[in-house]
Structure 1
Amino acid sequence: MSHNESPIANNAAADAATDATDAANGGKRKKLFTILGGVLVIAGIGYGAYWYLIGSRYVETDNAYTATEISVLTPAINGIVADVKVVDTQAVKKGDILVTIDDSDARLALLQAEADLNRTERRVQGLFANDAGLAAQVLAREAEQKRAAAQVLSAQADLRRAEIDLQRREALAKSGSVSGEELSNARTALLTAQANQKVAEAGEVQSRANTRATLGAQKASTVLTADTTVDSNPEVLLARAKRDQARLDLERTVLRAPVDGVVARRQVQVGQRVQTGAALLSLVPLQQMHVDANFKEGQLTRVRIGMPVTMKADLYGSAVEYHGVVTGMSGGTGSAFAVIPAQNATGNWIKVVQRLPVRIAIDAKDLAQRPLSVGLSMVVEIDTRGQMQAGDVQPRTASNQPARPAAL
């Protein structure tokens, strides 16, 4: 019997051992699943906390580049370049002389304009003097007209007296009291008186015409000088404006820097003849740098003007951080302002996520410590829950612009 029972006992022992192993393995799996579940829960909590505290608060893009308002130097007059005082990469201050144009023609034009002004002033002074002389002539002509009228009255009186004398002598001649010679003299006197009256009347008409002519000349002269002085006369003002224009053209032969900046794209050489409006060189005001960050449209849901921004430049690496503030968002996406805009109304249409440029001002202190150039790559992060405090970011102004090195 002992020989037959030994295999059965061995099988039972093996089954018991297997059951114990399975139980142990099941406990381990349960423990592992418990641990895995705990890890997943912790990970979910961690991800939720990250999303609430960081992921949903910050929006970031590396599609961002530095930019500034570049000034282009253009001449206001035509001429030959006499001197160029700057080269590319040279830093200049506002008001520094950059280019000079030969001023020979401008100086001659100024001398001519000054001579024209002096001549015009003298001519206008003559007009005022002539006006005064014509006024005196008018008085003289009026006096002559009065004298002619008096002469007419005198001639009329003489004619009346001659008529009376002739009538008296004709009456006496019938009685033989007056000789024929005396009667003949009376008739001659009457004819003379009649002629003198006509002469006096003609003189009166002539004096009246002379008076009207002098008055007309006075009015014509007065029109040129009425309600003005020599300084305020239109002809003088026109000549003075031409003189001032010539003086301004002379000043414009010296081209100065309109802003602080660095010279770029110099295209002018000594001896070159330049035309009005031609681009000579560009000035990059690095102290007024900003960042144009192109965010995806879905990232801008909570972005508002005034939110704080942190930025990193590839030029300095992640160790250097810039601070800024959102100052504006573009009125349209980049594709909307493209030279050849997208034709989304066509049949073969594929939706493409659009990007909207966001303008970000950089803190002046950060720029002073780590200057930037135009077109550098930036990594931008906007805090959609933060608010800038007054004075946190100082825009660049003329009073807080630091000195730049002579070349980059």
Structure 2
Amino acid sequence: MPTAVGETIQPCPECGAEIHADNRFTIWCAACDWNVDPKDQQEKRERQEQQGARGKRGKRVRQGRLEEARRALAQRYGEKLHAEVTQGGAELRARRDGAAMLAYAIALAVHGVTAALLAGGVFCIVWGWGGGLVLLGVVLLAVAVALRPRLSGPPADGTVVHRADAPELYALVDEVARVVGTRGVDTIAVGKEINASVASRGLRGRRVLSLGLPLWEVLTPQQRVALLGHELGHYGNGDTRHGVVVGTALRSLVTWRYYFAPIPRPTGTEMVVNAVYAVPLLLVQGTLVLLDHLTLRATQRGEYLADREAARVASTEAAAGLMDQLLIVESVDVFLRRERNNAALTGARSARGTAAASADAPDGLWTRLAAHMASVPEHEYERQRRAGARRGHSVDATHPPTHLRRACLLAGPPSEAAVFLDDDRLRRITAELAGARTEVARRIVRDGVG
């Protein structure tokens, strides 16, 4: 008989083994891996349906093939890098290799094209004033402005928490940064994404920590320290993709590709335009793919390096626990979407006069989320590990699979914590984030996480 609320017992349709399952999560068989990754099976069916597409959908098929090639390359890089890390074939360290230097050279060439367009436009306007060159100069300047490098802007979604309002939180970030060997952040933006990141924004390179509360709230105190150590550990680890030069070049190439993309269902004149744009589009696409490939290995190495910093700051146990939580972030997303739907239903009933409005619904959101995540059974963690092993790098080519990152953390000698988040400090940080926690919870209940 079932032993817990929501638990079911049934035979596996493939091998007949007894399955003890929780009906809140995917039902699968640990003996034969039946239904261990239903999402992957669905994606395979969708890809098979797309292979017969024509016309407008044919473009998506070609893009899908490029992405599959990129993931295959990422898997080769990832498997070799994982072997180096676990077998001791090479020391994992930040370095500038030939691929990184070539990536810098290509990125500078990309920026050089924009600079040449700008210089050409100015030259035509100055030296051709009063003549036909002025019009050409204006066109060149307009193109240069349209294709200019884009610096990262402010976070699209987030409540900014200033240092004066959250001194304890900023002090924790500063302490983690000192252990990692970098400086802290200038701004912390708290949002509703199930993620966290640190980015340099604007010409002055101000660092912004984007802290997704749905992820932050489900972590233990030391796992939160590990999260900060991982994000700050990205600085100085040789990840050229996150640098200003290469990062802006990648964004420029994506913009160029957008402008050179063929016009769908073109008229006669537009067919000529598409033909003229074909060669530049191929050059841009080829350069983008090359630059992506050159930085892919450094990006994956950077993730392992950042994980190492997380373990050094918060302990190996906390860093591995963080990996476990990242495995089941889908459960966080499902729970928050259910909360959003329940709030919408409650609001609709209230509007019809059949129920009272649940104005305080956001107030207990984080408590309910923490309770839900604490109830996730161990077999769901194991399913996600097995599913991750099957997918390899097919989900995200820039990150090594989470199960490999976890294995690498546990393969080396364990690290003790250098930064501790005790109960008193945690209470002060929670109090500092009280307003942001309420605002983010309200936005999740009102708008959802997506």
The normalised TM-score by structure 1 is 0.20
Question: Structure with the greater relative contact order (CA < 8 A, sep ≥ 6): 1 or 2?
Answer: 1
Q: Which has the larger radius of gyration?
A: 1
Normalized per residue, which structure has more helix? 2
